[in-house]
Amino acid sequence: MIGFLTDWSIKSHYVGVAKAVMKRINPSVDIIDITHEIEPFNVRMASHILLRASKDFPEGSIFVAVVDYGVGTSRKAICMRTKNEQYYVGPDNGIFTHVALEYGVKQVRELNNKKYHYASSYTFHGRDIFAPVAAHLSKGVPFEELGDVLPNFIVLPTKQAQIVNESIVGEVAYFDSFGNIQTNVPVELVERLHWQMDDTIVINDKFEASYVRTFGDVAKGQLLIHPDSSGFLEIAINQGSAAERIDLKQAQKITLRRKKS
């Protein structure tokens, strides 16, 4: 199974062409489109979404992740094998930061064995390197044949969420299309602080939100925080945009604390 994620959008022909190359090499492979609507060039957003999506894929899955503003430059093409036996194919620009942190890395290989490439354009490595390598892997080509071992890989600057003096300090992961603020705060930290449903949570000492199960647990237009389906905290507004209400930027620090009665 191949999971496919890009910032190409579905308006272009790029997604279809890359999938055609994968099917040409392995006609029987299943290709799951995670999304092709990553904000253009937003590697950090792609890294977080890739982690969230990967949790529902089985062991042995292969991921093609292409947000590649450095295509054709000295940046390397890589495949990362994680300790949970998944494979991540894409550019070495930090896009695999969060799966590496979550699962651990067994080994990284530079994709310099041209035997497993499709063509040699300077600007479409998604078709010419990443898609064919993933397809060959899905046919059983050994990981070790893809190229040379790469001792280091690019990691985005990021701070893991943590508890500090009864507050949770994390960061903004990305903003989704509804204006919900996705955070890097795992629900496990909330459980350690024993937050209860309907508690009032103070965001950055400025905004108050209800800690609830779902959007409809508060009135329309009300700010809320809830555990999302991937196991992280999400800041939202029922039928509105939290991103518009709260002026935050991607990767900005956020502090969450329970308001005392």
Mean pLDDT of 135-148: 98
Predicted confidence (pLDDT) at residue 260 exceeds the cutoff of 90? no
pLDDT tens digit sequence for 16-27? 999 999 999 999
pLDDT of residue 183: 97
Let me know if 113 is exposed, middle or buried by CB neighbors in 10 A (0-12, 13-18, 19+). Answer: middle
Within-domain flag for 107: yes
In a domain, 154, yes or no: no
104 to 78, 83, 87, 97, 171: CA distances (angstroms): 16, 5, 12, 10, 21
- Is there a single domain that holds both residue 63 and residue 134? yes
Q: Which of 214, 211, 165 is nearest to 190 (CA)?
A: 211
Q: Verify that 191 and 136 share a domain, yes or no.
A: no
Domain containing 50 equals 2-145
Q: Which residues neighbour 88 within 8 Å (Cβ) at sequence distance 6 or greater?
A: 50, 62, 63, 65, 79, 80, 81, 82, 96, 99
Q: What pLDDT, in 10s, does the model give residues 166-200?
A: 999 999 999 999 999 999 999 999 999 999 999 99
pLDDT for the residue numbered 39? 97
Average pLDDT over residues 107-128: 97
* Domain shared by 119 and 199, yes or no: no
113-121's contacts with Cβ under 8 Å and 24+ in sequence apart are 113/145, 113/146, 113/147, 115/145, 116/141, 116/145, 116/146, 118/21, 118/25
| Domain-located, residue 19 | yes
Of the pLDDT bands very low, low, confident and very high (cuts 50, 70, 90), residue 133 is very high
Position 152 in a domain: no
- Residue 219 domain-assigned? yes
* Residues belonging to the chain: 261
Going through the chain in order, the beta strands assigned E by DSSP cover 2-6, 31-35, 62-66, 77-82, 87-91, 105-110, 162-164, 167-175, 181-186, 200-203, 207-211, 223-227, 232-237, 253-258
Do 115 and 14 fall within a single domain?
yes
Mean pLDDT computed over every residue of the chain:
96
Same domain, 15 and 110: yes
Q: Are 246 and 181 in contact (CB under 8 A)?
A: yes
Q: What does the pLDDT read at residue 8?
A: 97
Please give the share of the chain, as a percent, with pLDDT higher than 70: 100
Average pLDDT over residues 117-123: 95
Structural Rg of the chain based on CA atoms: 20
This model's pTM is above 0.85: yes
pLDDT of 241 higher than 80: yes
- 3-state SS assignment for residue 226: strand
Domain identity same for 170 and 207: yes
C-alpha 259/C-alpha 28 separation (Å) is: 55
Q: Give pLDDT, residue 261.
A: 72
- Residue 110 domain flag: yes
Q: Dig out the tokens for 232 from the structure.
A: 């992280």
- CA atoms of 193 and 208, how far apart (whole Å): 18
- 126 plus 181 within the same structural domain: no
For residues 10 and 127, state if they share a domain. Answer: yes
Residue-level pLDDT at 21: 98
Per the CB < 8 A criterion, the answer to whether 91 and 76 are in contact is: yes
Provide the CATH number for the domain around residue 99.
Answer: 3.40.50.10790
> What's the structural domain count of the chain?
2
Same domain, 176 and 60: no
